[in-house]
Amino acid sequence: MTTWLNASFQMQFRVIGGLTVRFAQSRGQGQEHALLLSPWPESLLAFEPVWSRLAEHAHLVAIDLPGFGHSQRDDALLSPRAMSEFITAAAGAFGLEHPHLIAPGTGTAAALFAAARYPGRLRSLVVGSGAAAVPLQLGGMVKDIIEAPDLDGFRRADPRQLVNAALSGISRYTLPESVRDDYLASYQGNRFAESARYLRSYPAELPVLAGLLPQIDTPVQIIAGAGDTAVPPVNATFLHERLPHSKLDVLDAGHFTWEDAAAEYAALVTNWWRGKANGSRK
């Protein structure tokens, strides 16, 4: 089935690694390619505000990661290290030999694991708004999920209320109802609580990632929101101080920089693609 959000945003499904995955890709083929990973608890529609701007500079493929958005879950992939393997498999499935990777939020750690484990596979990364600091520096619902003794309380809660509570962090952007409905549908039933298991892997996974950061040669653009209370900017600083080839920009926004500050976010990404990804620290 194919669904069109607008004339340039076509959503479809395909099987990758035995899982049914929802994706969208821009029309036409350019010399540059970019793979975009859905943030939690949203979906690939999170990129709609920046889609047309980014599509002027690269051929785009956006995917709902397994267990997120409308893609099928595999319990074995509910950690950043495991998800990094799927990311490289997805790039191969779409024929993206040396793509840029945009991985905000929950995609941040997985993207960095992928860059560490497969040197040279990715041309550059755009990350941010994702947990990275060790010890953990998190707030709000993310902190509550990780520190809860189990997920029973989240399983009993109304997932619509949980998703809407998370989306209240969007302060400057008016979320279209059709997009909000897609986010809510993405985490209906037990999908919210099950997807939260990914976050609960952070205490074990992030210390391992921290040890790998100095070895990552892939250029990394880090974008954070100054007002992010869920994943404070200290997480972005932690990455910037340890990655050999990184650039850090902090926007006047909350957690959802790609929506709250779409124009600024898109400008940073396209400038990065146009030649800023040259391995220098700025």
- pLDDT band for 8, please (50, 70, 90 cuts): low
Other beta carbons within 10 angstroms of residue 201's beta carbon come to 17
Distance CA 115, CA 215 (A): 9
Do residues 63 and 88 make contact, with C-beta atoms less than 8 angstroms apart? no
Give the CA angle between residues 203, 162, 188 to the nearest 5°.
Answer: 100
Provide the whole-model pTM: 0.94
Tens digit of each residue's pLDDT (9 = 90 or more) over 176-206: 999 999 999 999 999 999 999 999 999 999 9
Tens digit of each residue's pLDDT (9 = 90 or more) over 137-177: 999 999 999 999 999 999 999 999 999 999 999 989 999 99
Total residue length of the chain = 282
**Given the DSSP bridges, would you call strands 33-37 and 124-128 parallel, antiparallel or unpaired?**
unpaired
Q: 3-class DSSP state for residue 19?
A: strand
